[in-house]
Amino acid sequence: MNLLVDRIGELVTNDPARGRGPLGLLRDAAVLVEDGRVAWIGRAADAPAADRRLDADGRAVLPGFVDSHSHLVFAGDRAAEFAARMAGEPYTGGGIRTTVAATRAASDDELRFAAGRLREEALRQGTTTIEIKSGYGLSVADEARALRIARELTDETTFLGAHVVPAEYAGRADDYVSLICGPMLRAAAPHARWIDVFCERGAFDADHARAILTVGQAAGLGARIHANQLGPGDGVRLAVELDAASADHCTHLSDADVDALASSATVATLLPGAEFSTRSRYPDARRLLDAGATVALATDCNPGSSYTSSMPFCVALAVREMRMTPAEAVWAATAGGARALRRDDVGVLRPGARADLVVLDAPSHLHLAYRPGVPLISDVVHNGVKL
C-alpha cells in the first residue's frame, strides 16, 4: 500500500537542493509515500498513481516537527506554582523535587498512561519525533522505570538522573554523583540513547557535569546539557568541549559561549515555552543565528517550567519574541531538532527519509506564526501512516 499526498500548495522539504531557499520550498507539489518512507517528490502534475490519496487541496505541507527536548514521564502537576509565578514569584527549579515525590509515588501504569496521553497530544499537533527524558525518579529503580516507559513511546530517550540532587542526598552531592555514575547509569543505559545534566547553580556544577557526561559517553550514550538557563555559567562551553549534540536553553550567553557554539557541531536548542511560563527573558536567537550557530526549537514539555507540548506555539513564540523569521523558526522546529538528535532521516522530506508529514490548514508555513493559538494541523502522516 502506498499513499500519495497530492495537490500541495507549498511543500517545505528542508532540502535546498530540491526547492527555493533554506526551506527548499516547492509549489504545486506531491509526495509519494511507500513502506513508511518518502519514495518520490515532484510536481503534482507528474505524480504517479497510488493506492490511496490524501488531497492537500492547495494547503501547505511540512516535515513533522522534531521535538528534541521533553520531560513527559512524571505524575501530578504544578499549576499552583505557575499561578504563584504569574503573581511575581521567580522560577528556581526548586519545584522539581515536588514532581519527584509525586512520580515516585505513582504506579507504572499511571506514569505510562500520563506520558502516553502527552505523546498523543504532541502527535496531534504534528510532532512525529520526540525526545523524552527521565529525571523525576532520581533513584536507581525510578530512573530505570522512567526510561523503560519513555522507551515505549520513542527511541530518543535521555537519562537525566542529574536533574537535581534528591532530598535524601541533601548536602551529599558527591555521593549522589557517584550513584549516578555507577549503579544508576548501569540500570539506565540499556534504555537510553542520550545522557543529560542540568548544569546550573543549585543543580550540578561543571565538574560534576563533566564527570557524569564523560562516564555516560564511555557507556555509549550521547551527551546533551541543560545549559545557561537561569544564569551565566559553564554549561555551554562544556557542551562544546564534550561535543554534546545539543546545549539546551542557552538563555544567558557570553560572547565566548556564542562563538563556541558557532564553531562547533553542538546545536543551540532554544525552549521559548520555558521563558513564557517562567516569565523570563527569552534567549537571543538572532545573535546565535547571525554568528552562524545551528538553532533548534523544542517544547521542554514538563510540569514545572513549560507545560506545553505544542511545537506550533514554540514557533510562534520564536518569531514574535526571539526575532527569528518564520522560515528560521520552521527550520529550527524540524531540521534543527533533527540535527540536535543527530538524525538525517527526519526533519526533511527527500526520497528515503521517514514519511512524517504535517498538512497545515493554511496555504503557507508563515501561518504557523501569523495565526498563533489556532489549531492549524489538519492531517499528520507518521511513518507513512495517516493518523
Residues that bind ligand NIG (CB under 6 A): 93, 95-96, 99, 198, 226, 229, 274, 300, 302-305
Sequence-distant (6+) residues with CB within 8 A of 207 are none
Sequence-distant (6+) residues with CB within 8 A of 164 are 93, 96, 97, 100, 138, 198, 202, 203
The response to whether 367 counts as a known ligand-binding position is no
In whole angstroms, how close is the CB of 195 to ligand NIG at the nearest point? 15
The response to whether 300 counts as a known ligand-binding position is yes
Of 74 and 331, the one with the shorter C-beta distance to Fe ion is: 74
Q: How far apart are the first and last CA of the chain?
A: 15
Nearest to 103 by CA among 151, 157, 163: 163
Sequence-distant (6+) residues with CB within 8 A of 96 are 135, 136, 163, 164, 304
- Angle formed by the axes of helices 140-151 and 96-105, nearest 10°: 80
Of 251 and 334, the one with the shorter C-beta distance to Fe ion is: 251
**Cell numbers given for 320:** 514574535
The response to whether 226 counts as a known ligand-binding position is yes
**Stretch in the footprint of Fe ion (CB under 5 A) among 112-120, 203-211, 216-224, 296-304:** 296-304
Of 82 and 331, the one with the shorter C-beta distance to ligand NIG is: 82
The response to whether 302 counts as a known ligand-binding position is yes
In whole angstroms, how close is the CB of 175 to ligand NIG at the nearest point? 21
Sequence-distant (6+) residues with CB within 8 A of 190 are none
The response to whether 76 counts as a known ligand-binding position is no
Q: Which does 99 bind (CB under 5 to 8 A by kind): ligand NIG, Fe ion, none?
A: ligand NIG
The SS3 call for residue 300 is coil
Of 67 and 300, the one with the shorter C-beta distance to ligand NIG is: 300
Q: Which does 93 bind (CB under 5 to 8 A by kind): ligand NIG, Fe ion, none?
A: ligand NIG
The response to whether 305 counts as a known ligand-binding position is yes
The response to whether 163 counts as a known ligand-binding position is yes
Of 213 and 274, the one with the shorter C-beta distance to ligand NIG is: 274
Does 200 engage in binding with Fe ion (CB under 5 A)?
A: no
In whole angstroms, how close is the CB of 378 to ligand NIG at the nearest point? 31
For the chain, the maximum distance between any two Cα atoms, rounded to a whole number of angstroms, is: 68
Nearest to 314 by CA among 278, 368, 364: 368
CB-CB contact of 319 with 358 (8 Å):
no
CB-CB contact of 270 with 318 (8 Å):
yes
Q: Which residue has the cell 521535538?
A: 67
Of 85 and 210, the one with the shorter C-beta distance to ligand NIG is: 85
Residue from the set 67, 81, 234, 300 that interacts with Fe ion by CB under 5 A? 300
Q: Which does 331 bind (CB under 5 to 8 A by kind): ligand NIG, Fe ion, none?
A: none
Of 13 and 134, the one with the shorter C-beta distance to Fe ion is: 134
**Stretch in the footprint of Fe ion (CB under 5 A) among 89-97, 100-108, 251-259, 294-302:** 294-302
The response to whether 71 counts as a known ligand-binding position is yes
What is the side-by-side strand order in the sheet with 222-227?
Answer: 65-67, 127-133, 156-162, 194-199, 222-227, 246-249, 267-270, 295-297
Q: What is the DSSP letter of 212?
A: H
In whole angstroms, how close is the CB of 74 to ligand NIG at the nearest point? 8
**Cell numbers given for 323:** 526575532
Query: What residue numbers does the annotated binding site for N-formimidoyl-L-glutamate cover?
Result: 136, 302, 304
Which residues contact Fe ion (rule: CB under 5 A)?
300
Query: What residue numbers does the annotated binding site for Zn(2+) cover?
Result: 69, 71, 226, 300
